[in-house]
Structure 1
């Protein structure tokens, strides 16, 4: 009789909870990872600041840290560790290349983020070269995305939002609810599939890239569909960032109204800051408050979406609808959201301010690194042609119309609250 030895495998969401928590604990009590320098403007600055021995050592330390965390993730989720250790260095090098590109001063001035470079680099390599299947199988896209989201929780500080003012919170709540439901209704009318509907609705209404990622995690969405939504978010954020301040100036909108409009309409935080800066100091302050207020709703939204998904999705391989019992809801609930909320509560209310400040920038850097690694992986495993098939036109139309609705409704609410 042959005895088959089964490999222990932990559910990926629980693995993320453990790994994300370990990263935070490690930073708080053992070692704060130094932050690499990516900023440069000339080739000489690139050599003198980025490619120095000290900075390369910091990048190597970060590489070892993320490699160990990723390897632990492979171990506890039952994936081949050897293949991960062989394939990950290539993914990391591509990711660092994307981060360095995004660190250029001109690129920063037009607010192109590292994730779009990592996604494009991955798409180019993944579609020009036939990558071995063992390499594709080792890409830890979901693991990296969710660890990044757990670390994102450390930056969502509830006390800062409350101090910033109630009007920003009120606008965020009204905009998120109204725009989300309009986008959801529109996607249903255009017969967009359920996964894209949820991702588009969250991306347009809450906070763009992070919301799309969180929603994809909550519904266990297709990474290819996630990359499509992320592409739409990043591409539309650029013209909005550039033209909205000029529209506000043409119609003589007050700075507070303009800031609230920008913060509630533009999907990426970096683009909000850039556009607010073009208007003035008061607009920058209000736009940041409003955008930050929307970011706070991310965890609540992910929780609500996971419950909705549990109630409405059919069981795989059957035609019967799963009963919405507490057991089913718990099984389908994305456990990483618990770690996100716990991290936010810890850094908001329980951690001394000095301790939080000591690790804040390091954890922010790791969050960005994991997100960028995730989008490199998404690009490598995505067929570029899939992003531009004819059937993808309806989601694009839905996204653009929902974004237009977002711009109009947010302006009305901004005038009502801040005008």
Structure 2
């Protein structure tokens, strides 16, 4: 039985995330499963037979189980044995996705683990069927919200400044323009407000994370979210392969080419892979611009939350929402994201921040991966590939094409003087 959505769940996510941050900052850093790149059966078996894998899997399971048990305890709905068995199954599915992602060929494409988590969940749900024992720990929204708050710990205000004024300038211009165009084209194609918000944020800001944050802020449909995530990851692959060669053919400077890649490709892994094809300097500008867009995520989630709360929530016909109503309906995990960013930017000592960020990033990645395993376990293939008669895919592709051409113009205007 899935935990009911409620404001209380937001506070539970905040509590779990900040307890996690406190434990990691105090020195308790879980040794989570890690897979190196492999491309042969021997390399795969060497990783599966590693004596550390069982121990690391156990640590991940216990860490997630402790969080989930705390969530159920706070929600006054706890069934520890059923929850543990179900969570173990979800963790093992997610680890298989992580192992697939570590394949050298797939890794070179920059494909993220969330895609294979989703695909494995979809396969089980649509081909094999989800057994009853696997259902109690399917807590998609809770997992997403915890991961997003932990993401805030890796978005530092000092890094925004260090990223440079040019990267921030391009990012602000591109994000707001592309977001508005995407929203407009989605409206023209008759998509509902949830799809318009998620697609616009995914295309304009930072792909997967932006779609997740937006869906959480508006309490969006998980089937729509999985559809948008699939579009992001599928479209990123041909962009990553083709755009570097277009940059070479057009004789772009490393600064312009890198800024173009970083401003258009929607996943960080694909940005790094594409930038690497053009050399170290292009990679530097690609990551600078991509990071500058990533740091706008918190502001975007906050503004979207306010807009959605004020304009879209159910209210009586004769009463507009006041400040109290807005506060009651505002997604508290967004505040957790901002607070985590402020804490790591201005409060904690620099050595503590440096020591904790890596572990928190790993935990964030696994929370997202667990969430997308759950989404797959709750979603039918027909809901993804036949949704809205293909209109979301059409809207996404049109918006991405606009993003490619508009960002190229802005990259030339902003970075053109840094030729060579």
Alignment partners' CA distance in 2, 1:214 and 1:321 = 31
Equivalent runs, 1:343-354 vs 2, <5 Å? 343-354=340-351
Q: 1:10-409 maps to which residues of 2 (within 5 A)?
A: 11-41=8-38, 42-82=40-80, 83-132=82-131, 135-136=134-135, 138-315=137-314, 320=317, 323-389=320-386, 391-409=388-406
Structure 2 gap segments, 5+ residues each: none
How many Å separate the matches in 2 of 1:14 and 1:262? Answer: 37
Q: 2-side partners of 1:126 and 1:219: how far apart?
A: 26
> Aligned runs of 1:1-12 on 2, under 5 Å?
11-12=8-9
Tell me the distance in 1 between the aligned counterparts of 2:263 and 2:24.
33
Structure 1 position 70, deviation (Å):
1.4
Deviation at 1:87, TM superposition (A): 1.0
**Could you tell me how far 1:322 is from its partner in structure 2?**
6.1
- Secondary structure of 1:37's aligned partner: coil
Normalising by the residue count of structure 1, what TM-score does the alignment of the two structures yield?
0.94
Whole-Å Cα distance in 2 between the matches of residues 199 and 344 of structure 1?
23
**C-alpha distance in structure 1 between counterparts of 2:400 and 2:76, whole Å:** 41
CA contact (8 A) 1:37 1:49 kept: no
Q: Which runs of 4+ in 1 moved over 6 A?
A: none
Aligned equivalents of 1:104 and 1:132: distance in 2? 29
Q: What per-residue deviation string (whole Å, max 9, x for no partner) do you get for residues 31-57 of structure 1?
A: 111242211313333333453112321
CA–CA distance in 2 between the matches of 1:406 and 1:134? 44
Separation in 1 of the partners of 2:128 and 2:113? Answer: 22
* Alpha-carbon distance in 2 for matches of 1:53, 1:246: 43
- Classify the secondary structure of the residue corresponding to 2:295: helix
How far apart are the structure 2 equivalents of 1:137 and 1:192? 33
CA gap of 1:78–1:202, structure 2 versus 1, over 3 A, is farther
Q: 2: CA distance between counterparts of 1:78 and 1:382?
A: 27
Give the structure-2-normalised TM-score.
0.93
Q: Distance in 2 between matches of 1:395 and 1:290?
A: 27
Distance 1:216 1:322 in 2: 26
The 10-residue stretch of structure 1 (342-351 or 72-81) with the greater mean CA deviation from structure 2: 72-81
Q: RMSD in angstroms over aligned alpha carbons?
A: 1.8
Q: 1:306 to 1:107 in 2, by over 3 A?
A: same
